[in-house]
Amino acid sequence: MKKTPYWLGLLAALSLPSAEAVNQEIRALFQPDSSKPNKNVFVNKTPNSGYCTIDPAQCADNMFSIQLPVRFDSTRPIIPGAPGDAMMLKVPANWRRLTVVNRDTGESQTVEVRITGIGSNFILSDSAANLVGVTDILEGHQRLWSSSSWANAPAPCQNSGVGFYTSRTYRFFWKAPQEAWCTKVAAYRIPSMSFDTLDFAYELRTPKPLSMSSGLYTGSLSYTLGPTGDFQMGPMMVPDDSNLTLDFVLDVQHTLKVDLPPGGNKVALEPAGGWQRWIDGGQRPTEIFRDQPFFLSSSSRFKVMLQCNSLGDSDCAIGNNQVGYSDFRVRLTMPPGIVGPGNHDGWFGTLTHNLWIGPFEPSRYIDRKQGMLRFFIPPQNMGFLRPGMNGTLMGIATIIFDSEV
């Protein structure tokens, strides 16, 4: 006798429906395009299924569609004219926000998504013609509902132009410009019916990829399905999956490349007009320098650092043990389109040994645009020059461009 309540409790637990869920990945990609340097948007890479494969022209403007194997079945016969038995379809048409996070850097961004259409293929327990007492298939579908067939979307939903039918089935798709019920009322009794898929269209708002670091950004947004859920197909229509999770993957593949012309890794410093004045008359030059162009391709933020041998300050050392040492500096000029500290486009300034400068950010995709490095010994550091001096002064400088800002 004492075991009976536990046995009954176990039966009750086993009779509960199991929680089901369906996941769908939404993937978008950014890669810089040299032919479209001002393009600063993601490209959807999720294959369309459902509506957009049937009528692609309707999906030309940033709308995409997914067909999921979610089935909705009626729990009772559908009574004609009964308000509680109306087919009331509703989707989450308002913008919803989610956070996506870079898997490597932890950087977060916001993505917005809204559902812009709903559709399926409904299956009747008998042919529409039999249910209404006619012989013509299309007439059966048109008379079965109080407002014609399901090609005619009830307000506020809008027609999509899609309607494919057989004697017992009807494939439809309605555009959903707002979050509200779109209602179809049966004109005849329907013993049972089902929706064999869940089709929906969606629209995305993504961040501007030029302001994002490279890498994969991931995040999820969950919806409920069923009579009181985010996706509703009617008060008596129960799905075999109760939750839908959209898994977003934003793939940012930036370019950061610096090219030097042939021989550009060796720089010979000299006065303007060469060394002849110094050789002939010992006239000390006002500046010894060399301008070295470089070619930058960039679609992402980056920072720059100068590393060199130093005599203990922010400048770089040049010289040798025979003639002595002096300091030289490096001035960086970015190409137009690269915005640097102080929000200056085409930034220029003198680099400091072992100190990062940045961030630098392209206002558009920069494809092999010329910048300039000036290596120079300023006038106050010319004291090493003495009459009769002979020799070669050597120095090493490394300029690092790093996309990890």
In this structure, the answer to whether residues 274 and 159 fall within a common structural domain is no
In this structure, the answer to whether residues 211 and 235 fall within a common structural domain is yes
Task: Please check whether residue 171 lies inside any domain of the structure.
Answer: yes
Task: Please check whether residue 2 lies inside any domain of the structure.
Answer: no
261 pLDDT exceeds 50?
yes
Helix segments in 234-335, DSSP class H: 276-281
For 282-326, the pLDDT digits (tens) are 677 888 899 999 999 999 899 999 999 887 778 899 888 777 788
334 pLDDT exceeds 80?
yes
Encoded tokens for 184: 């179809």
In this structure, the answer to whether residues 283 and 319 fall within a common structural domain is yes
Contact 91, 176 (CB under 8 A): yes
CA atoms of 392 and 275, how far apart (whole Å)? 13
In this structure, the answer to whether residues 244 and 289 fall within a common structural domain is no
For 24-53, the pLDDT digits (tens) are 999 999 988 888 888 888 888 999 998 888
Residue 15 confidence class, pLDDT cut points 50, 70, 90? very low
Predicted local confidence at residue 388, as pLDDT: 65
Task: Please check whether residue 8 lies inside any domain of the structure.
Answer: no
Q: What residues does 320 pair with on adjacent strands?
A: 324
In this structure, the answer to whether residues 225 and 269 fall within a common structural domain is no
Encoded tokens for 113: 């998504």
In this structure, the answer to whether residues 200 and 329 fall within a common structural domain is no
DSSP state of 232: B
- Domain end (from 237, 252, 267): 252
Encoded tokens for 147: 């407002």
Task: Please check whether residue 197 lies inside any domain of the structure.
Answer: yes
Residue 162 confidence class, pLDDT cut points 50, 70, 90? confident
- Domain end (from 252, 270, 289): 252
In this structure, the answer to whether residues 303 and 220 fall within a common structural domain is no
For 54-110, the pLDDT digits (tens) are 878 877 777 788 999 999 999 999 999 877 888 999 999 999 999 999 998 899 999
Q: Which domain holds residue 231?
A: 18-252
**pTM of the entire predicted model:** 0.77
Q: Based on the structure, what is the number of domains in the chain?
A: 2
Predicted local confidence at residue 193, as pLDDT: 97
192 pLDDT exceeds 70?
yes
Task: Please check whether residue 6 lies inside any domain of the structure.
Answer: no
In this structure, the answer to whether residues 64 and 189 fall within a common structural domain is yes
Task: Please check whether residue 7 lies inside any domain of the structure.
Answer: no
Neighbours of 396 (CB within 10 A): 10
DSSP state of 83: G
Q: Quick one: what percent of the chain has pLDDT higher than 70?
A: 93
Q: Is the dihedral of CA 109, 110, 116, 122 positive or negative?
A: positive
- Domain end (from 252, 271, 287): 252
Mean pLDDT of 234-249: 94
Task: Please check whether residue 165 lies inside any domain of the structure.
Answer: yes
DSSP 151-181: TSPPTTSEEEEEEEE-SSEEEEEEE-SSSS-
Burial 36-60 (b: 16+ CB within 10 A, else e): ebebbebebebebbbbbebeeebbe
CA atoms of 305 and 86, how far apart (whole Å)? 68
In this structure, the answer to whether residues 369 and 385 fall within a common structural domain is yes
CA atoms of 359 and 339, how far apart (whole Å)? 8
Task: Please check whether residue 9 lies inside any domain of the structure.
Answer: no
| Closest to 243 in 3D by CA, of 257, 222, 215 | 222
CA angle 207, 32, 204 (to 5 degrees): 30
126 pLDDT exceeds 60?
yes
In this structure, the answer to whether residues 103 and 157 fall within a common structural domain is yes
CATH number at residue 318: 2.60.40
Residue 20 confidence class, pLDDT cut points 50, 70, 90? low
Beta strand 243-252 with 344-345 is unpaired
In this structure, the answer to whether residues 55 and 178 fall within a common structural domain is yes
Predicted local confidence at residue 9, as pLDDT: 33
DSSP state of 226: S
Q: What residues does 222 pair with on adjacent strands?
A: 245
In this structure, the answer to whether residues 84 and 217 fall within a common structural domain is yes
CA atoms of 389 and 326, how far apart (whole Å)? 14
CA atoms of 270 and 266, how far apart (whole Å)? 13
